[in-house]
Structure 1
Amino acid sequence: MVRASRLSVAAALAFAGLGALVLGVSACGRRSEGPLPIALIGDRTALDTSSLRLSPAARTIRGATVEGLVAFDAEGHIVPAIADRWIITDDGQSYIFRLRDGTWPGGSRITAETAAAALRKALAQLKGTALGLDLAAIEQVRVMADRVIEVDLVAPVPDLLTLLAQPELGMPYAGRGAGPMGLARRRGGAELSLIPPEKRGLAPEEGFSSRARNLLVDFMPANKAVDRFNEGAADLVLGGRIDSIPLTEQTGLARGNVQLDPVIGMFGLLVDSDQGFLSEVPNREALALAIDRDAIIAAFNIAGWQSTTRIVSAGVEGDAGTVGERWVGVALEQRRALAAERVTRFMAGGKPAPLLRIAAPNGPGTRRVIDRIAADFKAIGVVAVQVGEDKPAELRLIDATARYGRASWFLNQLACSVHKPACIMEGDMLLAQARQTADLRERARLLGEAEAQITSANPYIPIARPLRWSLVRAGVAGFALNPWGWHPLPPLAALPK
C-alpha cells in the first residue's frame, strides 16, 4: 500500500487555543508579480548549511535548497521530494522508496546507490544528537534496484517520514543540494528561486515561469525585521520566538498580521551543571517548586498559552498518561516554603546563598521571563543572573519545538548521550529499551516509566510550551500555520494557479 498521506498532528492541535490571536490569511498574494520580500530572523551564517548543527534560520535555508527523500508542505504535511512514492510494510519496520527519474546538480542521474550513500552520511553525522536518537531505530539503508532504496528498522518508527523530511536529512550530492530552490547570495541575504523541472531532469511544465516567483530573503535581528515589515519593505517575517514576541506589542500591527503556530515542545530551564547547589536532586526540585509559572504566562497575555510542570506535552502519541502535572493543589506559598527550607539547609555551616547563572538569548521577551524567574528564586534565597546564551552557566533556557508529536521526542532531549549534567541512567536505559520495542503499547509503558524517572531527577524545569510567531501581510500566498514551528520556503515561491 502506498502511503503518502498526511501525518497526524493531533497533539499539536491540542495547543490550538493560541489561534485566538490569529486571523485568516487570504489566498491571493498582494505582490502577485515580482519577488516576495522576506525578513528572516537570524544572520548570514544561516547560508552555511554544511554542518548539521543548524540554527533555525539555517534549517529554513537548507530545507529549501537540499532535498531529502520527502519534504514538508506549507502546513507541515509530508510531500514527495527525491522519492516520488513509497510503501510501508505492514509491520512498520520497512520503508521502501522509489526515487524520481531525475538528476543531481551537475546532471548525474539520481540513483539508489548515490541516494543511499547521501542518507547514510547524514545519519552518521547526526549521531550523538537528539535527532540521532530519534532515528536510532534505523538498522540499515539498502539498495534494492536502480531507483529503489529500503530503510529497515529494528522497531517501528511511526513518524519516520516526518523525521526524514527534516532539513538535516537533506541529501546533497557532490556538496550541492538538489533543490527544489536555487540560491544566489546578495547583500544582506539571498535570492531563492524554484529550479525549473527540466533543469532537474524532469519533464517541462507548461506555464512554470508564470507560476513561480523569486524570494528575496534578508537576515536580520527581530527588531529590524519588525521595522522592515511596518515600513512595507517586507511582506513576511519568519523565525519569531518568545525572546522577540513583545516587539509585536509595540507596533501598530493588525491582529491578523501576527500568526502564532500551534506548536508543542519544551520551554524551560535545563540544568547545565551538577556541581554545588545543583548537585542534589532536592535542590534542583526546589527551583522547580519556586517558579510561579502562571505569572510568567500572564506577563505575555497570549490566549491559550498554558503553563506546565511536565516534560512531555500531555496527550501526545506515546504518552501513557501515568505522569501528570506536579504539585496539583499545593499552593505556591507552600511550595516556596519547602524550597526555602532546602536552600537554608544547603547554606548551613556558613555557605553563601546559591548564585546561579541562566544562559539565555537577549531580547525583551527573554528578559521578561528571566526577571520573573529571578524574583521567584530570590523568594527562596537563591540569586539568579542572566548571561549570554553561549556563556558558561548553571542553568540554560531551552526553547525547542518538537520535530514530531510523540513522547519519545521530549525524552530524547534529556538522554545522557545528548545532555550529561544531571541525567539519570535508569531513565536512559528505559529509553533505550523503548527504542528497541516493536509493541507500541509496551513502548508507551516504558516511556512513561522513563518520564517518571527523569522527572524525579529534575534535570529540566518545565515552564510552558514554546511560542513561534510570524508576521504576514494580508494576501501572501503559500503561508500556513505549521505545527513544527518553521515555514518551508518553496510553497511561498509557487503562485496559485
Structure 2
Amino acid sequence: MARALPPIAALLLLAAAPLLSACGGPAEGALDIAFVDGGATVDNPDPARDLRLTSAASHMRAATETGLVTLNAAGEVVPALADRWIVTEDGLSFIFRLRDGEWPDGSDLTAESVRRRLRSALRRLDGTPLGLDLRSVADVRAMAGRVVEIRLAAPTPYLLHLLAQPELVLVHEGGGTGDMVLEQQGRAAVLVMRPPAARGLPEQADWSDHVRPLLLRPMTIQQALAGFDEGSIDLVLGAGIADWPLANTGPLSRGTVRLDPVLGLFGLHVRHAEGLLATDAGRETVALAVDRAALIEPFGIGGWTPTNRMVAPDLPADPGLVGERWAAVPIAQRQAAAALRIARWSAANGGQAPRLTLALRRAPGLDRLFDTLAAQLATSGIRLERVAADAPDADLMLVDRVARYGAPEWFLHQFDCGVQRAGGLCVSAADALVAQAQAASDTAGRTRLLAEAEQALAQANVFIPFGQPIRWAQVRSSITGFAPNAWGFHPLPPLAEIIR
C-alpha cells in the first residue's frame, strides 16, 4: 500500500519561501527569463484542455510535467518516467521500463497507471497534427508491474521524439510529474527544482546548493532586450524573424545572440481559391515571382537556406525523390515568366492588376518582410496589400512554425484537410497518400508515398515556401544549460542547475 505523503508542491514552496518576497515580488538569486512569443501571459495551462501552446506554456509544461521521455538541452530524447526502453526488430513495439518511484501524491508509479494516462493524452490529441503523427499507435499495454508497451500498426521511427512533446506529458491529479514546481506571481512565475528523489535520482544532502530558481516573465521584445542590456534579464526566449531587427548583433554583444538551426515551415499558405489564386497555375505564378534569397537578404542572417520545397530538404532519411522546383531557372527568368502570366490574366479580367491580401501582424521584422515581398510581387504586376493578422477574408497568411521532429510526415500533416482550423487550402488526395505511407510496412513504399504526397501539394501550390524558420535567443555569456537546437526548444531544468 502506498503511504500517504504531503503534496510535494506544498513542501517545495515552503522550502522555497526565503526565495520569494512576502509581497509576491521576484525570487532572489533567480535566473531571469523573458518570453517574447506574442506577449502571452506566463501561466501553467491545463494540459487537458489547452493544446495550442505558446513557447512559454510549452516550456513550463515540460518543466512541471513529464512523460515517458523528454528532451535535453541539445534537443535529444532522454529518459524521464521511463529510465530505459527497447524497440523490437520489426519496429512495431516500443517497450519501456519505468523508473523506480511514486507519483507526487505517494501512489505507486505502475505500468497500469501510466497506461491510463498515456491513453488519455493520446485521446486529447484527436483532430490535431500531432494526433495524425501518432495515428500508427495501435495499443498501449501494461505488462509487468513497471513495463509499458506501445504497439504500432506500422513502424514509426520518430515515435520517441513524439512522446517527448509537452502535449504528451502524463498528468497526475496529485501533483506535477516534472523536475520543477511552479508558483504563480501575477503574470510572472517562479519555478524551483524538486528534490532528487522526486526526479528519480539518488538522494543528495546538499542538492539545493546546486540549483537556482527561475523567474519567468512575459514581455514585449523591446522590454526584454532593454532588461537584458541593463542586466535585469539573463535570457530572452521565443524570438523569431518578427523581432530580428531589434537583436543586438554588433561587436559589443559578445556573441549573446544565438540562432537556433531549426527545421519547419516558413512561407505563405493560400486561404481562398479566388481571383488569381483560383487555379493551380495562378498560385504557381505567385510562387514564381518570389526571390527567396533576396527576401531574407535585408535581415543579414548568414547561413539561411531558401527552398521551394514544402518538406525541408536534406532531412536525415531524405532519399532525394523530390528536388527543388525550378532549380535550373534563374530568378530573373522566373519573374519574367510570372509577369507574362499576370499580363495575360489581367487582359482576361478587365485589364485590372491582381490584388492579394496578406494577414500579417505588425512587428519590425514582419514590416521588413512585407515591404520586400510586396516589391518583388509588384515587379510581376501583382499588388500585395497587408491586412490585420486575424482578418478572416485574407487571401494569404504567413506560416512560421518550427517542426517537432525531422520527418516528412510533420510537414505534410500541417496541411491536412482535417486539421485546418485557421483556414487554408488543402489537398485530400495528398492526405490519403500520407495515411497510406504511415500504414506501409516497408521503408521504400513509405518513402515513395510521402514523395507523391509532397508532389501533389506542390502541384496544387497551396503553400508557397520561403525557407527555414528563424528562431533566436539573447543569452548572457555566463549561462549554462542552454544549447541551440533544431527544435528551438530550451528545457528549463538544465538552466536551473549550477555547474559545480
Regarding TM over 0.5, the answer is yes
| Partner SS state of residue 231, structure 2 | coil
Counterpart in 2 of 1:36?
Answer: 31
Query: How far 1:200 sits from its partner (Å)?
Result: 6.0
Could you tell me whether the CA contact under 8 Å between 1:107 and 1:201 is conserved in 2?
A: no
Counterpart in 1 of 2:427?
Answer: 424
Counterpart in 2 of 1:467?
Answer: 470
Query: How far 1:115 sits from its partner (Å)?
Result: 1.6
321 and 175 in structure 1: CA distance in 2 versus 1, 3 angstrom threshold: farther
Query: How far 1:274 sits from its partner (Å)?
Result: 2.1
Indicate the larger mover: 64-73 or 421-430.
Answer: 421-430
Query: How far 1:478 sits from its partner (Å)?
Result: 0.8
Query: How far 1:258 sits from its partner (Å)?
Result: 0.6
Deviations 1:165-194 (A, max 9, x none): 011111111285312110001144100011
Count of residues in Structure 1 that have an aligned counterpart in Structure 2: 465
175 and 456 in structure 1: CA distance in 2 versus 1, 3 angstrom threshold: farther
Could you tell me whether the CA contact under 8 Å between 2:95 and 2:147 is conserved in 1?
A: yes
Counterpart in 2 of 1:366?
Answer: 366
Counterpart in 2 of 1:324?
Answer: 323
The one-letter code sitting in structure 2 at the alignment partner of 1:381 is: G
Indicate the larger mover: 422-431 or 186-195.
Answer: 422-431
Deviations 1:131-163 (A, max 9, x none): 111111111111113322111111111111111
- The equivalences for 1:154-193 within 5 A come to 154-174=153-173, 176-193=175-192
- Residue number among 444, 456, 459 corresponding to 2:459 in the alignment: 456
| Partner SS state of residue 435, structure 1 | helix
Query: How far 1:344 sits from its partner (Å)?
Result: 3.5
Query: How far 1:328 sits from its partner (Å)?
Result: 2.1
Deviations 1:94-143 (A, max 9, x none): 11112222232333222222222221122112122221111111111111
56 and 351 in structure 1: CA distance in 2 versus 1, 3 angstrom threshold: farther
Query: How far 1:253 sits from its partner (Å)?
Result: 4.7
| Partner SS state of residue 174, structure 1 | coil
Deviations 1:448-482 (A, max 9, x none): 12111111111110111111101111121111121
46 and 386 in structure 1: CA distance in 2 versus 1, 3 angstrom threshold: farther
CA–CA distance in structure 1, aligned partners of residues 328 and 322 of structure 2: 16
Counterpart in 1 of 2:292?
Answer: 293
- The equivalences for 1:256-267 within 5 A come to 256-267=255-266
Larger radius of gyration: 2
- In the alignment, structure 2 segments of 5+ residues that lack a partner are 1-27
| Partner SS state of residue 451, structure 1 | helix
Counterpart in 2 of 1:221?
Answer: 220
81 and 414 in structure 1: CA distance in 2 versus 1, 3 angstrom threshold: same
TM-score (norm 1): 0.89
Query: How far 1:300 sits from its partner (Å)?
Result: 1.2
CA–CA distance in structure 1, aligned partners of residues 128 and 291 of structure 2: 31
State whether structure 2 residue 41 is matched by structure 1 residue 45: yes
| Partner SS state of residue 47, structure 1 | coil
- In the alignment, structure 1 segments of 5+ residues that lack a partner are 1-32
State whether structure 2 residue 433 is matched by structure 1 residue 433: no
State whether structure 2 residue 485 is matched by structure 1 residue 482: yes
Counterpart in 2 of 1:18?
Answer: none
Counterpart in 1 of 2:386?
Answer: 386
Could you tell me whether the CA contact under 8 Å between 1:171 and 1:177 is conserved in 2?
A: no
CA–CA distance in structure 1, aligned partners of residues 492 and 81 of structure 2: 17
State whether structure 2 residue 446 is matched by structure 1 residue 443: yes
CA–CA distance in structure 2, aligned partners of residues 200 and 235 of structure 1: 26
Could you tell me whether the CA contact under 8 Å between 2:42 and 2:216 is conserved in 1?
A: no
Counterpart in 2 of 1:23?
Answer: none
CA–CA distance in structure 2, aligned partners of residues 62 and 97 of structure 1: 22
249 and 296 in structure 1: CA distance in 2 versus 1, 3 angstrom threshold: farther
Indicate the larger mover: 316-325 or 341-350.
Answer: 341-350
253 and 272 in structure 1: CA distance in 2 versus 1, 3 angstrom threshold: farther
CA–CA distance in structure 1, aligned partners of residues 468 and 125 of structure 2: 25
Counterpart in 2 of 1:14?
Answer: none
The one-letter code sitting in structure 2 at the alignment partner of 1:400 is: R
| Partner SS state of residue 179, structure 1 | coil
Deviations 1:343-388 (A, max 9, x none): 3343324274333221234311111111111112222222222233
CA–CA distance in structure 1, aligned partners of residues 292 and 229 of structure 2: 32
| Partner SS state of residue 149, structure 1 | strand
| Partner SS state of residue 37, structure 1 | strand
Could you tell me whether the CA contact under 8 Å between 1:319 and 1:447 is conserved in 2?
A: no
Indicate the larger mover: 97-106 or 180-189.
Answer: 97-106
135 and 414 in structure 1: CA distance in 2 versus 1, 3 angstrom threshold: same
| Partner SS state of residue 241, structure 2 | coil
Deviations 1:385-437 (A, max 9, x none): 22333332211111111211112221222222233743223222211111001
Instruction: Provide the aligned C-alpha RMSD in A.
Output: 2.0
Deviations 1:72-112 (A, max 9, x none): 11111111111122121111111111222223233322222
CA–CA distance in structure 2, aligned partners of residues 201 and 75 of structure 1: 21
Indicate the larger mover: 216-225 or 121-130.
Answer: 121-130
CA–CA distance in structure 2, aligned partners of residues 53 and 309 of structure 1: 28
The one-letter code sitting in structure 1 at the alignment partner of 2:120 is: K
| Partner SS state of residue 35, structure 2 | strand
433 and 253 in structure 1: CA distance in 2 versus 1, 3 angstrom threshold: farther
Counterpart in 1 of 2:356?
Answer: 356
Indicate the larger mover: 426-435 or 251-260.
Answer: 251-260
Could you tell me whether the CA contact under 8 Å between 1:318 and 1:408 is conserved in 2?
A: no
The one-letter code sitting in structure 2 at the alignment partner of 1:365 is: G
Counterpart in 2 of 1:30?
Answer: none
| Partner SS state of residue 417, structure 1 | helix
Query: How far 1:201 sits from its partner (Å)?
Result: 7.8
465 and 48 in structure 1: CA distance in 2 versus 1, 3 angstrom threshold: same
TM-score (norm 2): 0.88
The one-letter code sitting in structure 2 at the alignment partner of 1:388 is: A
Counterpart in 1 of 2:279?
Answer: 280
Could you tell me whether the CA contact under 8 Å between 1:422 and 1:458 is conserved in 2?
A: no
Give percent identity, aligned residues only: 47
144 and 467 in structure 1: CA distance in 2 versus 1, 3 angstrom threshold: same
CA–CA distance in structure 2, aligned partners of residues 384 and 376 of structure 1: 10
CA–CA distance in structure 2, aligned partners of residues 252 and 234 of structure 1: 20
